Amino acid sequence: MRTVLLAATTLAAAMLVAGCFETKQDVTLNPDQSGKVRVELVMSDMPFTMMPQDDPPDPEMTSKRVAKSILDGSKGIDTWSDVSVERTEDNRTRFTGTAYFKDFTAMNLQAGKMQGVTLEKTADGGMLLRLKPEQPGAPLGRRDTGTAPPAEPEKQMTDEEMQQRLAAERAKWQQMKPMMAMTIGKMKMDAIFRLPGKLVKVEGFQKTSDGGVQFVFDGTKVLEVIDKLMADDSYVRENMLAGKGGMGQPPLGEEAMKQLFGTTGALVAQTQGPAEPQFDYAAEVQAAKAAYPAMIKRLGLDKVPETGPGPQLPPGFGLPGSRKGRAGRP
């Protein structure tokens, strides 16, 4: 069953390193790679309620902890503005805010972190954006170096043995599907990138009506694609006989990528320069820093108690005390 699990977890981990949540990000970049990102994040209380505590967790305080953790734990952020935090009807936390960063490549949000994204300046003053998923079998947050030994091909099977193997693989997938639906099936990300200059190349991304490029990850669609692939006798048979789909082998992940985004390689967006700044970074940051203390007080985040280190979870969960430093404060 490694084949199916690797396909799903690889696609998810390539975009998000976090729990089950929904996030929207709208990134506006200047030619010097400074910029701002409008973030909307909806997540469950699970990472926070797992922490040891004497009393039952207060939902409102939990939401404030989420907000404080995102503000304090994000890296490469000059400051935040227009932050709000609230409880949703299904008892989750919705966080929204705008983060300002001097260097996109050094910006690292505490929650909703994207993996496999690179940004380069081109010789003519434009930009080249790539989103490259990690390879199956690579640990979360690490790319496959290509040094993993190739999977051993399956032994030659009779038709009867092949049918038994296909049936077994599908039975395992049906057993795993409910768990996958509760995790990957609830992951959603909508990311828009607004690059400076004239957009001249787009592969895999969707174009927006106002000149940006958009990436949409929907866990339910990923599971639908895997369902479709698992129903394809010829595809599953071919990969089993070739010994593909094991550690370091990405065929099922690539096919899912192709069906989801129309490409098996990196998603690419490129602009042509010369390009002008899309907004006045210094002026907006100055105004945001001036308003920051009053915003924190209005949200009640100055009343959130400091907490010690919690359980070691993958980055992106936003656990308070899990990172050093207090990025985002003016």
Percent of the chain's residues with pLDDT above 90: 35
Does residue 41 surpass a pLDDT of 80?
Answer: yes
Q: Cβ-count burial of 208 within 10 angstroms (0-12 exposed, 13-18 middle, 19+ buried)?
A: middle
Q: Predicted confidence band at 192 (pLDDT cuts at 50, 70, 90)?
A: very high
Tens digits of residue pLDDT in 10-34 = 444 444 444 457 889 999 999 999 9
How confident is the model at residue 143, as a pLDDT? 39
Q: How confident is the model at residue 158 (pLDDT cuts 50, 70, 90)?
A: confident
The candidate with the shortest Cα–Cα distance to 248, out of 96, 146, 141, is 146
Helix, strand or coil, per DSSP, at residue 14: helix
User: 40: which residues sit within 8 A by CB, 6+ positions away?
Assistant: 23, 24, 25, 94, 95, 96
Banded model confidence at residue 139, pLDDT cuts 50, 70, 90: very low
Question: Please, which residues bridge with residue 203 across strands?
Answer: 268
| Whether pLDDT at 148 is above 60 | no
Q: Give residue-wise pLDDT tens across range 267-281.
A: 899 999 899 999 999
pLDDT (average), residues 64-93: 92
For position 54, what pLDDT does the model report? 46
Cα–Cα distances in angstroms (integers) from residue 26 to residues 90, 181, 272, in the given order? 25, 27, 21
Closest CA to 205 of 261, 260, 264: 261
pTM score: 0.74
Which 3 state secondary structure label does DSSP give 166?
helix
pLDDT above 70 coverage of the chain, percent: 68
**pLDDT at position 180, please?**
76
